[in-house]
Amino acid sequence: MAGKKDPITILVVDDDQVHRYMLCSMLKEWGWRCVEADDGTTAVAAVEKKRYDAVLMDVRMAKMDGREAFTHIQASHPSLPVIIMTAYSSVDDAVEAIQQGAHDYLTKPLDFDRLRLALLRAVDHHQVVSRKQQAEAGRPKLKTAMIGTAKPMLELLEMISYVAPTEATVLIYGESGTGKELVAEALHENSERHNQPFIKVNCAALAEGLLESELFGHEKGAFTGAEKQREGKFVQADGGTLFLDEIGETSQAMQVKLLRVLQEQELQRVGGEETIRVDVRIIAATNRNLEEEVEKNRFREDLYYRLNVVMLTVPPLRDRKEDIPKLVEYFAHKFAEKNRRTLDGITSECMELLSLYSWPGNVRELENAVERGIILMRGTELTEKSLPLSIQKQFVKHGSSDTTEPVSIFDAEKQLILKTLVDTDGNKSEASRRLGITRKTLQSKLNRYEKS
């Protein structure tokens, strides 16, 4: 039998005893519980001792007024909705409280229909927030080496947090260098299998015959050079997770064999007849559009649907440019420590150049560029002069059709920003998003261009 739900409890704060009595009588008629407080100090003490669904509080009180009491309550219980009551002459006080985070305000004499509606909304809001907080508190913090707070990354991390604890097969899609392996590692580390093996196989790095042996193992004498029995990656990953990177590069024949293992959770070694059962969670990754590959008969449709129980898409770096400074800082300190270099900072010109570059090779290309910069830097600051030439000379002025001339970073940045504004029809918010800078920064740069 389910436990009886606690009634909705409202804290009524007013130094007018008659008004408190009238309000509590009305709340009880509606089936709610009412607790009284005769001033702000009493109200602040009350919320520390007991849980309330909402607070109904007068502004003008002798000892501690409603605004001050609200400030204290908000600091200790930010999700607790507070509805301010005020006379018409004090509406400005209520509006100020709303601006500071109060849930709503009502003017005296109170309209009881509006009061009930305001309280219902406040209670509903509080319950939704409480459920969300309980859910988040019950969910362990995501363990991952991925860096980023851009919207596409936050959405990806949220999906990982939901999918990781399940047994679902996951297909990770993303361009080369976006960090698909880090996503696979995060899925494993945040799963129930995290104490079991995490085995990685690059399907594109091995010829078909070698890949079959690598995945399924082989018997002694199965082929020339097979001097002893060998366990494959599926057996090594038993109980844990097997990450099949670049799954789109496998042959049709290999796809048939993979499909059988995924369906039956059993396999045979190359040259063997013994059936071996395995318990493995499969995570696959590809930079190919497998739907298109299926349409062109280059990838088996049944294997595609077996792999694509959940698809996670890793955003390219150009779609999360606001994360570039964080990544640059991380890589710079990582490689400075690795190469025993003293790093005191990164010049603003260097950071701007790195932020403006298109990064076709994504995070991997950025990591390599920063590593090179750290190794070749002179002094203790990372500057644009030690970056790869392809990045230094990315922006050029076109004289004739067959000649190019390097320009300054200032002019290159100006060209890019003005072109982006043209591409977005002058929409500064959209241009800022594409450039990975704030709208305020964009306006500041435009002001500089007008003066130059």
Residue 256 sits in the same domain as residue 216: yes
Task: Please report, for the domain that includes residue 133, its CATH number.
Answer: 3.40.50.2300
Residue 295 sits in the same domain as residue 334: no
pLDDT at 90: 62
Task: Look at residues 315, 342, 360 and tell me which one is the last residue of a structural domain.
Answer: 315
Q: pLDDT tens, 20-54?
A: 999 999 999 988 999 999 999 999 999 998 989 99
Domain count, the chain: 3
> Does 425 score more than 70 pLDDT?
yes
In a domain, 143, yes or no: no
Residue 299 sits in the same domain as residue 182: yes
> Does 408 score more than 90 pLDDT?
no
Who wins on pLDDT, 388 or 333? 333
Cβ 185 vs Cβ 160: under 8 Å: no
Cβ 317 vs Cβ 294: under 8 Å: no
Edge-to-edge order in the sheet of strand 9-13: 33-37, 9-13, 54-58, 82-87, 104-108
Q: pLDDT tens, 240-299?
A: 999 999 999 999 999 999 999 998 889 988 888 888 999 999 999 999 999 999 999 999
Residue 309 sits in the same domain as residue 325: no
Helices (H) and strands (E) in the chain, counts: 19, 18
Tokens of 315: 């955003």
Task: Please report, for the domain that includes residue 273, its CATH number.
Answer: 3.40.50.300
Task: Look at residues 137, 159, 189 and tell me which one is the last residue of a structural domain.
Answer: 137
> Does 388 score more than 50 pLDDT?
yes
pLDDT band at 111 (very low <50, low <70, confident <90, very high): confident
Half-sphere exposure of 23 (CA within 13 A, CB side): 29
Looking at residue 109, what DSSP letter applies? S
Residue 194 sits in the same domain as residue 225: yes
Task: Please report, for the domain that includes residue 391, its CATH number.
Answer: 1.10.8.60
**C-alpha span between 368 and 380 (Å, rounded):** 19
Candidates 260, 173, 246; CA nearest to 211 is: 246
**C-alpha span between 393 and 412 (Å, rounded):** 10
CA 433 to chain centre: 17
Residue 398's CB: how many other CB atoms inside 10 A?
A: 9
Place of tokens 């601006």: 99
Tokens of 66: 């409603």
**C-alpha span between 262 and 285 (Å, rounded):** 15
Residue 293 sits in the same domain as residue 355: no
Tell me the three state secondary structure of residue 178: coil
Residue 92 sits in the same domain as residue 156: no
Cβ 188 vs Cβ 194: under 8 Å: yes
Q: pLDDT tens, 178-201?
A: 999 999 999 999 999 999 999 999
Backbone angles phi, psi at 134, to 5 degrees: -65, -40
Tokens of 134: 């309980």
Residue 66 sits in the same domain as residue 97: yes
Candidates 49, 33, 42; CA nearest to 13 is: 42
Residue 365 sits in the same domain as residue 257: no
In a domain, 428, yes or no: yes
pLDDT at 417: 81
The mean pLDDT of 2-15, rounded to a whole number, is: 76
**C-alpha span between 430 and 449 (Å, rounded):** 19
pLDDT at 449: 74
Buried b (16+ CB within 10 A) or exposed e, 74-92: beebeebbbbbbbeeebee
Residue 179 sits in the same domain as residue 311: yes
CA 165 to chain centre: 17
Task: Look at residues 137, 161, 179 and tell me which one is the last residue of a structural domain.
Answer: 137
Candidates 86, 316, 323; CA nearest to 179 is: 316
**C-alpha span between 318 and 161 (Å, rounded):** 24
Residue 166 sits in the same domain as residue 120: no
**C-alpha span between 373 and 365 (Å, rounded):** 12
Cβ 57 vs Cβ 38: under 8 Å: no
pLDDT band at 1 (very low <50, low <70, confident <90, very high): very low
pLDDT at 2: 41
Report the first-to-last Cα separation within the chain, whole angstroms.
76
pLDDT at 4: 47
pLDDT at 401: 39
Which residues form the domain of 20? Answer: 9-137
In a domain, 146, yes or no: no
Tell me the three state secondary structure of residue 144: coil
**C-alpha span between 322 and 151 (Å, rounded):** 10
